[in-house]
Amino acid sequence: MKSGRLMIFVLIILLVLGIDVYAFQAIETATKTNSALATFAHAAYWSVSAGILLFFVYGMLNMRGSKNIPAYFKATFNIFITLLVTKATLLIVLFGEDIYRGVVAVAHLFNGTTGHVLPERQAVVSQAGLLIALVPFASFVYGTTKGKYRYKVHKQVLYFDDLPEAFDGFTIAQISDVHSGSFDNAEAVAKGIELINKQDADVFVFTGDLVNNHAEEIEPWIDTFKKIKAKHGQFSILGNHDYGDYIQWPSAEAKAENLHKLKAHHASMGFRLLLNENITLEKGGATIKLVGVENWGKGFVMQGDLNKALNGVDDKDFKVLLSHDPSHWDAQVKDHPTHIHLTLSGHTHGMQMGIETPLFKWSPVQYRYKNWAGLATENNRHLYVNRGFGFLGFSGRVGIWPEITVIELRKK
């Protein structure tokens, strides 16, 4: 591990330990009136916290370069994240109490109070904090067991002045970010594929990240994904993970062979892979252009060449672009001289955790990506960001469920 990464890793561990120490104060305060309970709770807290942290550190130090993530590390990482978020919630409650305690202490000093001016922690506050922390704990337990396969269909109707009449009502089914190397439930994935086919879409598109790193990750799932069918065909593009940039390869040739194999797997599933190119969809004597670029993303692979992909496309053509990373739309697409009506992206996963209600949408990923889920419109051009079909790293989803998008094109 390089020195820079090692330093970041050490800082993360120190931060986790700091959160552990701070959160422990709630356990200590909530159980202080019952010595037997306190002894058990203290031992359980530190045994679990120390054990999970040690397994996490061991896995991080020994897993680098491995083709497959060991099952023990997936479980450890899930527990690690679940407990970290739970403790962070508890920390917020304690910090709120500490602000109050600090204000009271300052007031006591100004009033000339002698002795212990800082109020003690109140057991009722710590107990309330523990109850509140049960909400994220339960949510993450659900997200790691059921939520990661809770496929949700998002339907969006878009209207265009220049859509050919024959394509009025044309539907596009989209999924993104399969990350097949993370799957651990064949039956659940198969139900997701069935749900895609139930949409009876005119065309199906996949917007990148078929695997985590290795082409072989999709091989056990080829027969499952080749069942996806649409009237006008199935089309796909590459995402940043498909290039194998996040692991060490024995040679440049091995890395190139992996990408070659992955491209062949797209064909095996019946997906027409678009590599900086476009194809024509015909219906009722009219046509629209489906354009696909390789990955282009700020801070990631930049193999996408939009101008090359638009070669032979007339400005009057109705155009749908497949581009994995939504930052491409902000950087190049929305202001491109060629009017691109609709761009379909993925990449963000909605960070696999957040809150979505009819009135409110939030995820930590919004601090990295302006457009991270759903529809955005600028300059009379649309971007739709799919929340992802699979999962990566954290083997779960909390509040941001795996998505199947269905977009209906309508003529104004």
Position 111 scores a pLDDT of: 84
pLDDT value, residue 1: 56
Pairing, β 355-356 against β 361-362: antiparallel
Confidence check: pLDDT of 230 > 90: yes
Task: Return the residue matching tokens 């739970």.
Answer: 86
pLDDT of residue 391: 98
Q: Say which CATH class 151-411 falls into.
A: alpha beta
Pick the residue with more confidence: 243 or 57? 243
Per-residue pLDDT, 179: 98
* Range 15-39 average pLDDT: 95
**Cβ neighbours for 342, distance < 8 A, ≥ 6 positions apart:** 158, 319, 320, 321, 381, 382, 383, 384, 407, 409
pLDDT over 70 (residue 402): yes
Q: State the pLDDT at residue 341.
A: 98
Question: What is the average per-residue pLDDT within 290-318?
Answer: 96
Quick one: what percent of the chain has pLDDT higher than 70? 98
Phi, psi for residue 199 in degrees, rounded to 5: -70, -15
Residue 234: beta bridge partners?
Answer: 204
| Pairing, β 374-378 against β 361-362 | unpaired
pLDDT surpasses 70 at 277: yes
Tell me which amino acid residue 253 is.
E
Average pLDDT over residues 290-296: 98
Beta carbons within 10 angstroms of residue 227's beta carbon = 13
| CA–CA distances in Å: residue 21 to residues 16, 26, 87, 92, 210 | 9, 10, 10, 14, 40
How long is the chain?
A: 412
Q: Is the pLDDT of residue 60 over 70?
A: yes
Residues facing residue 398 across a β-bridge? 353
At 41, the pLDDT band (50, 70, 90 cuts) reads: very high
pLDDT of the residue at 133 = 97
Q: Note whether 142 and 393 are within 8 A (CB).
A: no
392-411 burial code (b ≥16 CB/10 A, e <16): bbbbbbbbbbbbbbbbbbee
pLDDT bracket for residue 223 (50, 70, 90):
very high
pLDDT of residue 72: 82
Residue 58: pLDDT band with limits 50, 70, 90: confident
Taking the C-alpha atoms of residue 377 and residue 295, their distance in angstroms, rounded to an integer, is 21
SS3 205: strand
pLDDT for residue 329:
98
Q: What is the pLDDT of residue 124?
A: 95
Q: Where in the chain is the domain with CATH 3.60.21.10?
A: 151-411
